A and B are shown apart, each in its own frame.
Chain A
Amino acid sequence: MGDPFKFSRRIACITTKHLNTYKFIIFLMETQNFKGKDVISIRDFSKKELLYILSVAEKIEKNPNSGLLKDKIVSLLFYEPSTRTRLSFDSSAKRLGGKTIGFARGEVTSMKKGETLWDTIKMVEQYSDVIVMRHNIEGAARLAAESASIPVINAGDGANQHPTQTMLDLYTIKKEKGKLDNLNVGFLGDLKYGRTVHSLAIALSHFNTKMFFISPKALKIPKHYLDELKQKNIEFIEEEDIFKVSKELDVLYVTRIQKERFPDAVEYEKYKNAYKLDKSLLDHSKKDLIIMHPLPRVGEINPELDETPNAVYFKQAGNGIPIRQALLSLVLGKIK
C-alpha cells in the first residue's frame, strides 16, 4: 500500500509555519502514525521510528494486554521454511487475542497452479486484517505491499530483508547493554550472503557504533554496504581472525554459513567450518561481551557457551514476541 506517513509529513511541511510546532508535529507523526504502515525493509525506518518501536515493545513486555488484537485476523503466508519467525508471529497474535490463518509451505497454495503473488494477495487481503509473509523470491514483500490495501509485514524475502529480525536484534542489544550508542559490535561468519548482518549494520548506522566485520575473505560484506557506512561516518574494520579483535567487542553477532545461499556445494564445503566458537573466546573478550545469533546454528557456537551469561541468543529469539506484538499492534492502529 502507499505510504500515508510520507504524505502527511509533506502536508505538515506546508501548513506549519512555526518551527517548534513543525518539529512537534513531525515528532508526533514519527512516533504515532504507524496505522496501515507496511514493514518491508529496515531502510524504510528512521532512527526515531525504530526507537519508538523498541519503546512500544518494552511497554508490551512489561504489561501484556491480552485483548489488544481481539477480532483481528493475521494471515501468515510462509512460502519458505521457518521455525522462530512463523511461530513467534503466531504466538504474538494469539497472546494478544488475535486469530491467525495461513500456511507454512508454498507448495500447498495456488502458486503451484501458476497463480501470481499479486493475485494471491488480492484474495488474502479480504480474509484478514494484516499479512505477514515470508517468500523465497527477493522483493516479493514489496510487491505484496503494492498489491495489498492492508498492511504487509515482511518476514523475510530470500536473501534480501528480514526487518522484524533486525528490530528484535536492536531490542536485544538495548535490553542487554542498556544502550545502542557507543558500542563496538562485531559481525562474524557469512557476511556476504547474511541478510541479518546487512540489515543490522544499516540499522546500527543510525547510532554511534564501531563495527568489526569478521569473515573469510570470500565471504566479506559487499562493498556497497561499506560505502554506505563510510558516507554515514561509521567507523569499521574488516578482519579474518576473531581473536585479533575480540577484546574490543561489546557485542558479537554470529551467523551461520548458509548452505542454501551458496551458488555451489564445493564453495560451501570450503567455508562451512570457518569459525567454531567455544569457551576459549571468553578468555580473550570483555567480561560483559554478549554473544548473539539469529539462529539456527549449525556448529559455529559450541553448546558449552549456552550456560554462560555472555550467550544471549535464546533470549534474543524470545525477544521476537514483544517486537512482533508491538508491530502488529502499531500497524493495526491498536497502539498509537
Chain B
Amino acid sequence: MSASKELKVPAIKEGTVIDHIPSRVTFKVMRILALNEFEHVVSVVINLKSKTGNKKGIIKVGSRVLTPEEVDKIAILAPHATINIIENYEVTKKTKVELPEEFHNIVKCSNPKCITNSEQVSTLFHVVKKDPLQVICNHCERVMEQSDIKLI
C-alpha cells in the first residue's frame, strides 16, 4: 500500500481488509457485516480509482475474521472483491471471493408468489451463470439477475 493510501485508510493490526468492492455497493457490504453495530475499528473508503479505471471501495475491519456465509454474501454483491487477513500489520492471507454453486438461505426470492415468501422455509438458489450473475430459485424456479437479488 502506498503512503498516500495509508493516510486515507489507516492500517489495522489484526483483522480483515476487503478490497476491490465496487464503490456503489460498499455500504451494502457494510450492512451485510452489520458494521454499524461493531465495536472494533472499522475504516471505509469509497471512490478510489482501481486499476481497471472503475471506482472501488475498501473496508478495513479490526479484530474480525469473516464467516464463510459472510464471504458468500460479499461474493454476490462484489464478485471481484479480495479478502485480506491481517496479522500484526501484515497481510498473511489474500483470497479472491468465489461464487459458490448454491446459496443456502442467503438470498430472498424476488417472486412474491414463491412458497419461500409465504412459509417459513430456508431458501436455496442454484447459480445458472456466474458473469453476469444469474440464479434460479430451487422452489419456484424464478430466474433472477444480479439486480433482482436481495439478501436475507
> By the criterion CB–CB under 8 Å, are A143 and B141 in contact?
no
> By the criterion CB–CB under 8 Å, are B143 and A139 in contact?
no
Judge if B121 is at the interface, Cβ distance under 8 Å.
Answer: yes
In B18-75, the 8 Å CB interface with A consists of none
Partner of A137, one of B115, B128, B134, B137: B115
**Residue from B109, B113, B137 with most neighbouring chain A CB atoms (10 Å):** B113
- A302 CB to closest chain B CB (Å) equals 33
> By the criterion CB–CB under 8 Å, are A158 and B119 in contact?
no
- B48 CB to closest chain A CB (Å) equals 35
Determine the main DSSP class of B at the interface with A.
loop
Which residues from B are CB-within-8-Å of A139?
109, 114-116, 137-141
Partner of B111, one of A116, A138, A140, A142: A138
- B55 CB to closest chain A CB (Å) equals 29
In A132-163, the 8 Å CB interface with B consists of 136-140, 142-143, 157-161
- A69 CB to closest chain B CB (Å) equals 29
In B125-144, the 8 Å CB interface with A consists of 128, 134, 137-143
- A264 CB to closest chain B CB (Å) equals 15
In B95-118, the 8 Å CB interface with A consists of 109, 111, 113-116, 118
**Residue from A118, A161, A224 with most neighbouring chain B CB atoms (10 Å):** A224
Which residues from A are CB-within-8-Å of B111?
138
Judge if A43 is at the interface, Cβ distance under 8 Å.
Answer: yes
> By the criterion CB–CB under 8 Å, are A138 and B138 in contact?
no
- B137 CB to closest chain A CB (Å) equals 7
Judge if A73 is at the interface, Cβ distance under 8 Å.
Answer: no
- A119 CB to closest chain B CB (Å) equals 10
Which residues from A are CB-within-8-Å of B119?
116-118, 143
CB nearest to A138 among chain B residues: B140
Which residues from B are CB-within-8-Å of A325?
none
Q: How far is the CA of A279 from the CA of B111 in the complex (A)?
A: 40
Number of A interface residues at 8 Å Cβ cutoff, please give it: 19
Number of B interface residues at 8 Å Cβ cutoff, please give it: 19
- A15 CB to closest chain B CB (Å) equals 25
> By the criterion CB–CB under 8 Å, are A137 and B114 in contact?
yes
**Residue from B114, B138, B140, B143 with most neighbouring chain A CB atoms (10 Å):** B140
Chain A 150-183 per-residue mask, 1 if CB under 8 angstroms from chain B, else 0: 0000000111110000000000000000000000
- B120 CB to closest chain A CB (Å) equals 8
Partner of B138, one of A137, A142, A157: A142
Q: How far is the CA of A189 from the CA of B63 in the complex (A)?
A: 59
Q: How far is the CA of A22 from the CA of B120 in the complex (A)?
A: 42
Judge if A319 is at the interface, Cβ distance under 8 Å.
Answer: no
Partner of B115, one of A43, A143, A224: A143
> By the criterion CB–CB under 8 Å, are B115 and A138 in contact?
yes
CB nearest to B120 among chain A residues: A116
CB nearest to B124 among chain A residues: A142
Residues of A within 8 A of B (CB): 41, 43, 116-118, 136-140, 142-143, 157-161, 222, 224
For this complex, 19 residue pairs linking A to B, each with C-beta atoms less than 8 Å apart, are A41-B141, A116-B120, A118-B121, A136-B113, A137-B113, A138-B113, A138-B114, A139-B109, A139-B141, A142-B115, A142-B139, A143-B121, A157-B140, A158-B113, A158-B140, A160-B140, A161-B141, A222-B143, A224-B128
Residues of B within 8 A of A (CB): 109, 111, 113-116, 118-121, 128, 134, 137-143
Q: 5 additional contacts, CB 8 Å, given A136-B113, A139-B109, A224-B143? A: A116-B120, A117-B119, A138-B113, A138-B114, A224-B134
